[in-house]
A and B are shown apart, each in its own frame.
Chain A
């Protein structure tokens, strides 16, 4: 009975994993396909990787994406940490409910709506004060920061609620002023959470297609946008190679973030 049941659970698990990961596995395998036709296997080769690294469009898009991701992650971490700190440590202030609701709203807002509203904002700003003069890397970065910082804020808030407030009180009691307490005690303790927030923002920004398509202008094409436009003209095998590289980068980022979080949880115990 128990054996039967566990066999059922095991096969359900296998099915779930297969459903999730076989397509990704196929992309990775076919990225090493020698054939020009995506659907036909023609033996192992790395020619699409070579071609990819010789394609200037791809390299430019990749560079742009990584730049945007790095700037986004950095600003989102700074602003998200501030927001998370306020939500975890300042118990009462006017509009607290509104503030925490608004911080979390980008998490549940459909991307299309976030993208559209930001586009409207940028257009009306351009009309009224002349900035941003053109849409491109700067507007994509700003848009990415707005939704990434929500994730960072949530991570920092949950970490800070785990940290006993008496640590900060003890430092203050021993003669440290509030800013000193932040620097000596709070920041070192939440630093791992900030790193995992940074990595998460980085991958979120690297992944985003919808919002970037809305707020981008001519001449600024991120990697996901490039992939999408190439696929529309028909799937070419080098897309598989590009997708594989992205999968590796994103997986690495998430793994490092998860590893840091688990290590920090262990040391907190």
Chain B
């Protein structure tokens, strides 16, 4: 891979201020060619501003952007090899589906036959054959989304930017659309940059995710890496469910930290080369990595705590329990419902919780 493919999109020290407010604060990022990259953050984290800077709709206060080795920083949006799909789809209400999709090609001055051919191919790709003459107000949410996607793909941009592409769809439709979007991405090989606040969407779609908070990236990596090895409490909490349990450092020596975690029944050892100055740490444990049983775990080696089921939710494929431990802490546990039997663990039942030591993560702030 050449460096241009490794750093297909290069964001260097980009900042954007709106008056006093700093929306994007000195951000660096490199996105690979053909990657499906997500920027995940809560609203107001600056993710949409960053996307708009990539599209050229917002001029950065500082820094530069290179796409495929070409400096884009001061290039107008109509000259950039980048197209964007807006959250509200922004279909032109006075134009038919065909004219909406063909708009980009018409502005290029392409001849009519080629436009016809390309639009038809695009309609087939998004499975909207036969809808050419409809007006946007005659389309359902899902259909509008496909038209918007087709319109932004037809110029074969080097980069496609998607602003909350699924936000306006209902849950069922969202899942099938996610897979279709991935198929289209694989078929065209265009680099996708998606902005979303939906962590599930980011996890299923992306090759890599950048988590954004208050104008910064807090962690960048594959969904798996971020989920299993979050760098901070914020990331751990943001992505999926997690138990965050208070712990105090009792001992620190070469490569090992010993903490006292009341919720998990006392001392825990972690191999960590990095020394910590703080005394308070957080032990993080994903709910699906906790075993819940009514009898004492057979394996004596394994640490366990006793507790009482305070609450449980039945979701069909899994059940989620909130267990109050003897120490008075709440631990969330999720359990796959593998057997077709009645729920054996119910409210007020006494249970034993156990876990693999590898599942525990020690996090700073």
Residues on A with beta carbons closer than 8 Å to the beta carbon of B152: 173-174
A173 lies within 8 A of B107 (CB): no
Q: Given A172-B77, A173-B57, A175-B78: A164 and B90 within 8 A (CB)? A: yes
- Docked complex: A159-210 residues within 8 A CB-CB of B: 164, 166-167, 169-177, 180, 184-185, 188-189
* Interface assignment of A268: CB less than 8 Å from any CB of chain B: yes
Cα of A167 to Cα of B148 in the assembled complex, Å: 11
Cα of A169 to Cα of B76 in the assembled complex, Å: 11
Residues on A with beta carbons closer than 8 Å to the beta carbon of B151: 170, 174
* Interface assignment of A4: CB less than 8 Å from any CB of chain B: no
A171 lies within 8 A of B93 (CB): no
Residues on A with beta carbons closer than 8 Å to the beta carbon of B57: 169, 172-173
Q: Per-residue CB proximity of B60-88 to A under 8 Å, as 1/0?
A: 00000000000000001110001110101
Q: Which of A174, A184, A185 touches B83 (beta carbons < 8 Å)?
A: A174
B86 lies within 8 A of A169 (CB): yes
Q: Which of B93, B94, B104 touches A174 (beta carbons < 8 Å)?
A: B104
Q: Given A170-B84, A267-B137: A177 and B93 within 8 A (CB)? A: no
B88 lies within 8 A of A174 (CB): no
Q: How far is the CB of A254 from chain B (nearest CB, A)?
A: 25
B interface, how many residues as a size bin?
20 to 34
With an 8 Å Cβ cutoff, the count of chain A residues facing the other chain is: 19
Q: Give the residue name and chain of the B residue nearest to A176 (CB).
A: B107
B78 lies within 8 A of A173 (CB): yes
Q: Give the residue name and chain of the A residue nearest to B107 (CB).
A: A175
B88 lies within 8 A of A171 (CB): no
B78 lies within 8 A of A172 (CB): yes
Residues on A with beta carbons closer than 8 Å to the beta carbon of B55: 169, 173
Q: Give the residue name and chain of the B residue nearest to A163 (CB).
A: B93
Interface centre among B57, B86, B90, B104 (most CB of A within 10 A): B90
Cα of A164 to Cα of B90 in the assembled complex, Å: 8
Residues on B with beta carbons closer than 8 Å to the beta carbon of A268: 93
B108 lies within 8 A of A175 (CB): yes
Q: Give the residue name and chain of the A residue nearest to B101 (CB).
A: A174
Residues on B with beta carbons closer than 8 Å to the beta carbon of A185: 92
Q: Per-residue CB proximity of B277-297 to A under 8 Å, as 1/0?
A: 000000000000000000000
B90 lies within 8 A of A174 (CB): no
* Interface assignment of B270: CB less than 8 Å from any CB of chain A: no
Cα of A185 to Cα of B137 in the assembled complex, Å: 16
B83 lies within 8 A of A189 (CB): no
Q: Given A176-B78, A177-B78, A267-B137: A171 and B92 within 8 A (CB)? A: yes
B94 lies within 8 A of A175 (CB): no
Q: Given A177-B78, A189-B94: A164 and B88 within 8 A (CB)? A: yes
Q: Per-residue CB proximity of B85-111 to A under 8 Å, as 1/0?
A: 010101011100000000110011000
**Can you spell out 14 A-B residue pairs with CB atoms less than 8 angstroms apart?**
A164-B90, A166-B90, A167-B92, A167-B93, A169-B90, A171-B103, A172-B57, A173-B84, A174-B103, A174-B104, A175-B107, A176-B107, A177-B78, A184-B92
B contact set with A: CB distance below 8 Å: 55-57, 76-78, 82-84, 86, 88, 90, 92-94, 103-104, 107-108, 137, 151-152, 155
